[in-house]
Structure 1
């Protein structure tokens, strides 16, 4: 997510390859947890916020 300067922030699908953590397996663990909480949704190769309200929450 890239905050806009002077424009409202919006959600966009992110490729799984864009998401990485410092330790192996950490990214998948976080994505799984967020998915179970229904805060994100999964596409074949992408991840999206479930709702734009999560950007400002």
Structure 2
């Protein structure tokens, strides 16, 4: 599925409104759903955090 940048609110750290954001997935809580959106700078930070997590946990080559 192709994701597109739209005008909306960032739900990550910057919490800015009315900016370009992209859908990351649904937030699900107590049987309710909401769109989880992020701006480019917050998405980049999230990707760096994920990369660091994966690099710390990758298997060591024998």
TM-score, normalising length: structure 2: 0.27
TM-score, normalising length: structure 1: 0.29
**Between structures 1 and 2, the one with greater strand share:** 2
Higher relative contact order (CA 8 A, sep 6+): 1
Give the greater-gyration-radius structure (CA): 2
